[in-house]
Structure 1
Amino acid sequence: MEWIDGIGDLYDNSSSGDYCCDDGGDVCDLKEGKQFEAVFIPVLYSVAFVVGVLGNGVLLGVLAQSRRTWSVTDTFILHLGVADILLLLTLPLWAAQSAQVQGWTFGTPLCKITGAVFTINFYCGIFLLACISLDRYLSIVHATQMYSRRKPWVVHVSCSAVWLFSLLLSIPDWIFLEAVHDERRDKTVCVCNYFKFNSETVGDWRLASRLIYHTVGFLLPSAALIFCYSCILCRLHSGSQGLQKQKAFRIIVAVVMVFFICWTPYNITLMVDTLTSNNTITDRCGVQTSLDKAKIVTSSVGYLHCSLNPILYAFVGVKFRRQLLDILRSLGCKLKMSPKLQSVGPSRRSSLWSNSADTSNSIAV
């Protein structure tokens, strides 16, 4: 697979194809991997693209319609939706690279732009999820408002900092990404060409990019989510919220579980690939072929997380569903609204996913 590791650590000629697999020095047969890639990447990426763009598009449409009543959480959700859509918009190009016989036909400039856009928005989405969890943790556990409507510039500064940090993490893509011809595969691929400076440091660059991804793109955000939501659950468990507490438990468990279900398999696969990147394995070809297939499938599952974000962070909200039904009715759809949705008033301080004016008492945490 030409484009494997998601962010920055793209396929390079030293690891994921040009390796010897037996004592005789014979190179691996890439035919099986190429066939699997040419079929499954376009299909899986297309599903993620269509579902994600439609879901996040609806989310942004509802946010635009209710922009006068935005809460702090809605601002984070807006940036999260934009980041998810921009990330998903790069998937058709990667799918085209796998499906086309010629490979990447869009040139080096678009290779750099597409790879960098993917990296920026991948990190941005993860960091925004961490910001949302931190905001809920401070509001519910410590009854402290990190952000307030009186100081809207604070949340905008936080979002700008997230985008800036994500941009800095994309610098390696701007430097190393190139459209190069892979002679063994006889096709052009958009890859991080670590050979352009010093061939002896290829392994070091590849390992460094993997460590950055695992640490900054998964382990740290995971630690933040686990810590914040664990503390929130403990606080709710010790309170007397009744049915609201039970609903909060379900939502929190869904948020954490979906994040880990989507991204843990890919990270485990990538860690195994990193550990087995040396040439001491007896059946190197069989192991690498299996890992390449696993990375195709697990990375696609990870990208589906962008499609699920609207459901997790907006569609669970009564107010969001009411406003979505209002938009559909304004377009001529004849829809009935349940008494529960009719009872939701236009609170100026409530979030799209929570009708509580005080986020410390929000059940949609």
Structure 2
Amino acid sequence: MNNTCLDINPQLEKYYLPTMYAIEFLLGLVGNLSVIWGYLFCLKEWKCSNIYLFNLSVTDLTFICTLPMLVVYYAKGNKWVFGHLMCTLNRYILHANMYISILFLTCISIDRYLLVVSPVKLHHFQKKWNAVVICLSIWVFVTLELVPLFIFIDVHAIGKKSSFQCLDYASSGNPSQSLIYSICLTVSGYLLPLCVMFFFYIQTARSLKKIMQQRTKVQVEKPLTLVILAIVIFLIFFTPYHIMRNVRIASRVENSTMSECSKLAVKALYTITRPIAFLNSITNPIFYFMLGDKFREQFFSRLRSIFLRKPEVTNQKEEGFNRSTGLNKC
């Protein structure tokens, strides 16, 4: 029956995955290194939002550094040559990056909301020390949340002992047990943060519209556009992956009623969504950093002072509410 089905999975794994991961590595490496360099050498005063964003870029950069191994793995026809431990560690970092990023993005949505509704008042959430504690708590929480993942990752020896097959999470382990864990992980790691993010971004949008109706001189079109884009990008990147991951695991259950052709189609769709879910590592530096006027000006001013050997010009203009987009205040 398999002979009548169109199986594009070998082509996707040999050409699509290496290409996408290579692009993400090159662009993500440049973007995140630039942002980290900018924060360390350009930003003199750190705010609470800077702490969340810096941790987000460190998380993305850690994940980006694991992509060359995946490129080699899929280009070699699913032959893992980096050892059993690195396979498990690679899959852990991949998932840790996703769920840590989601939680940091959720924190940023809360911070933006507080900046809009009360730009002068300093809330407990926005204090620097509390931001550091929250970041450390996120790292610990996600690590504990992903401990069961080590049980489900399979590493199979291929021929020589130095070559392995490092299967992705949805294609590994006992599918019945893995499905239960995957659903719990989807709810706790994605759906709950998504609901929190939606709530605060909707409240932020409402507050910005009220400011527009008051006909004040404050320009809110840009921050309002960023709020809408943040929600859209979040949904496009993460939703298809979580849906297809659970469907992929369900298709592997022993008593599944899916036909072989349907299983192949599910696997192909799941494969397509995997690199898309990690495109946020490329867009985060652009969307959350470079669109901040103050940071962007300081970043390029620092670059000009280095390459043109001119003294760095500090921007003395007062940072308005409409220009900062809520990223550089606390």
- TM-score interval (norm. to shorter): 0.7 to 0.9
- Match of residue 146 from structure 1: 123
How far did 1:52 drift? 1.1
What stretches of structure 2 of length at least 5 have no aligned partner? none
Tell me the secondary structure at the aligned position of residue 69 of structure 1: coil
- Where in structure 2 are the equivalents of 1:256-295 lying within 5 Å? 256-278=231-253, 281=257, 284-295=259-270
Residues in 1 aligned to 2:198 and 2:239: alpha-carbon distance in whole angstroms:
14
| Residue 211, structure 1, aligned to residue 183, structure 2 | yes
SS at 2:123 equivalent: coil
Could you tell me which of 122, 128, 137 is aligned with 2:98?
Answer: 122
Aligned counterparts of 2:187 and 2:247: Cα–Cα separation in 1: 15
**Aligned equivalent of 2:11, options 21, 31, 35:** 35
Whichever residue aligns with residue 117 of structure 2, its letter is V
- Structure 1 portions without partners, runs of 5+: 1-21, 360-365
Aligned pairs for 1:195-206 (under 5 A) are: 202-206=174-178
Give 3-state SS (helix, strand or coil) of 1:133's partner: helix
Give the count of matched residue pairs.
319
Helix, strand or coil for the counterpart of 1:331? helix
Q: Percent identity at matched positions?
A: 24
Between the aligned partners of 1:302 and 1:192, the Cα distance in structure 2 is: 14
CA 109–342 in structure 1, closer or farther in 2 if over 3 Å, else same: closer
- Supply the distance in 1 between the matched residues of 2:270 and 2:152 (Cα, whole angstroms): 21
1:232 alignment partner in structure 2: 204
* Counterpart-to-counterpart distance in 2, 1:42 and 1:274: 23
Answer yes or no: is the 8 Å Cα contact 1:83–1:125 preserved in 2. Answer: yes
* Residue aligning to 1:165: 141
Question: Structure 1, residues 257-287: CA drift from partner, whole Å, max 9, x if none?
Answer: 11112122223323443554455546x2322
How far apart, in 2, do the equivalents of 1:355 and 1:192 lie?
Answer: 38
Q: 1:182 to 1:204 in 2, by over 3 A?
A: farther
- Summarize the Cα distance change of 1:145–1:274 in structure 2 as closer, same or farther, 3 Å threshold: farther
Summarize the alignment of residues 5-16 of structure 1 with structure 2, pairs less than 5 Å apart: none
Mean alpha-carbon deviation: is it higher for 324-333 or for 238-247?
238-247
In the TM superposition, residue 86 of structure 1 has moved relative to its aligned partner by 0.8
Q: What pairs with 1:1-365 in structure 2 (closer than 5 Å)? A: 32-101=8-77, 103-141=79-117, 145-147=122-124, 151-181=127-157, 188-191=164-167, 202-239=174-211, 240=214, 241-242=216-217, 244-278=219-253, 281=257, 284-333=259-308, 345=317, 354=325
In 2 relative to 1, CA 332–163 (structure 1 residues): closer, same or farther, beyond 3 Å?
same
Q: Which whole-Å CA distance do the structure 2 matches of 1:225 and 1:55 have between them? A: 24
Q: Deviations over 1:43-72 (max 9, x none)?
A: 011111111111111111110113431111
- Residue 15 of structure 1 corresponds to which residue in structure 2? none
Q: Residues 154, 208 of structure 1: CA spacing in aligned structure 2 closer, same or farther, 3 A cutoff? A: same
Q: C-alpha distance in 1, partners of 2:90/2:24?
A: 17
Contact persistence 1:111–1:178 (CA under 8 A): no
Q: CA RMSD in A?
A: 3.5
Compared with structure 1, are the counterparts of its residues 257 and 139 closer, same or farther at alpha carbon in structure 2 (3 Å cutoff)?
Answer: same
- TM-score, normalised on structure 1? 0.76
Return the alpha-carbon distance in structure 2 between the equivalents of residues 174 and 356 of structure 1: 36
CA contact (8 A) 1:111 1:179 kept: yes
1:9 aligned partner: none
Cα 1:106–1:148 shift into 2, 3 Å: closer
- Aligned in 2, Cα 1:324/1:274: closer, same or farther, shift over 3 Å? same
Judge which range, 322-331 or 74-83, deviates more.
322-331
1: CA distance, partners of 2:58 / 2:324: 17
State the AA in 2 paired with 1:145: L
- Report the TM-score when normalising by structure 2: 0.83
